Amino acid sequence: MTAHTLTERPARSTLLDGLGRYVPIGATLALLLVLYFTGVANYPKFDQPQVVAKLFIDNAPLLVIAVGMTFVILSGGIDLSVGSVMAFSTMASAWLTVEAGIAAPLALVLVLAFGTAWGVLIGAVIHHFNVQPFIATLVGLFLFRGLTLQISETDVSMRDIEFFGWGMTHVEFFGKVRDGGFWLPYLSFGAFAVVIVAFVVLHYTRFGRSVYAVGGSEQSALLMGLPVARTKIGVYAVSGFCAALAGVFAAFATKSANPLANVGTELDAIAAVVIGGTLLTGGAGFVLGTVAGVMVWGVLNTLIAFQGNLSSWWARIAMGVLLLAFILLQRVLARSGEKRRA
């Protein structure tokens, strides 16, 4: 590329790039609407508000994990350990409260602190020792599944701990479900809070902008004087915290801990992030896109549940097909971007 083209092109390409940024998320939202109205057209009672509310109840943990994953993927990394960390956090919450007899709030704080500390550790290994994120987080995937199984090989119930009743407390809106209203548990508000905080952090703080910069080009970010080390370690800390929080949410939602829970959750989260329009190479994407991605996953499952005679594996296949479509779309957009600049 010569200096000549550099001075000639920016005005036009900036405009198109600006719009191009929103094509994937626009496609996701369109897809979400199509899926939803397909359901409304085909199944009775699909149009009840509670159907939408239920998306935010069932998928609250996945939403939290996917938000954490968005940070990591935006920075150009990947975190495979979230499913295991989540299962471990649920199990640790159960063990600390039921077996060790620690007060539930304190136990939850410990679990969340541990998840964050693990994220910091693995982030430090990735950054300072230049280990590939894929391999470094693979350690977490094995380690925490193993530790979870070592705490207990069977389900641990937390029903006797009163504190865990709090999470599913109903908050009703516009009356009862049969009167056209809907309800949400406190957990869903927790998930909303995570999304809002993540949105503000990513778009309006120095750390958030650094995440995008590091994901775009680590070298350039370093040359610009951005705190690359702090940012890279930070995103894994965020992801570790979110995974632990999702585990705590699961503890509230089910009041039991299953050592084999959440196998493959990391894949669902990655898929949701990509369908939400975030580039897996890093540097471009939105938290709200991830919310849309999780909703697509939720609506797909709801559709299958309403259909009644389909198995849940269809959701996985559909998710794979959507993933393929979105990856190809991103590829086409990236190629046309390259051509414009060339």
Q: Which residues contact other proteins (rule: CB under 8 A)?
A: 78, 125, 128-132, 134-136, 138-143, 145-147, 149-150, 153, 263, 267-268, 270-271, 274, 280-281, 311, 313-317, 319-321, 323-324, 327-328, 331
Q: How far is CA 218 from CA 214, 215, 267, 290, 335, in A?
A: 4, 6, 25, 23, 21
Cβ 232 vs Cβ 120: under 8 Å: no
Residue 263: CB minimum distance to other proteins, A:
8
Which C-beta is closer to other proteins: that of 218 or that of 268? Answer: 268
Residue 30: CB minimum distance to other proteins, A:
21
Residue 83: CB minimum distance to other proteins, A:
11
Residue 41: CB minimum distance to other proteins, A:
25
Which C-beta is closer to other proteins: that of 57 or that of 322? Answer: 322
Which C-beta is closer to other proteins: that of 52 or that of 121? Answer: 121
CA 66 – CA 314 distance, rounded (Å) = 21
- Which residues have CB under 8 Å from 330's CB, separation 6+? 24, 277, 279
Residue 128: CB minimum distance to other proteins, A:
6
Q: How far is CA 341 from CA 174, 281, 333, 335, in A?
A: 52, 19, 12, 10
Alpha helices in the chain (DSSP H): 3-8, 10-20, 23-42, 49-58, 60-74, 82-94, 104-128, 133-151, 186-204, 206-216, 218-223, 228-254, 265-275, 287-307, 313-341
Residue 323: CB minimum distance to other proteins, A:
5
Residue 126: CB minimum distance to other proteins, A:
10
CA 277 – CA 294 distance, rounded (Å) = 12
Closest CA to 306 of 53, 57, 47: 47
In this structure, what are the phi and psi dihedrals at residue 79, rounded to the nearest 5 degrees? Answer: -130, 105
Which C-beta is closer to other proteins: that of 81 or that of 188? Answer: 81
CA 233 – CA 238 distance, rounded (Å) = 9
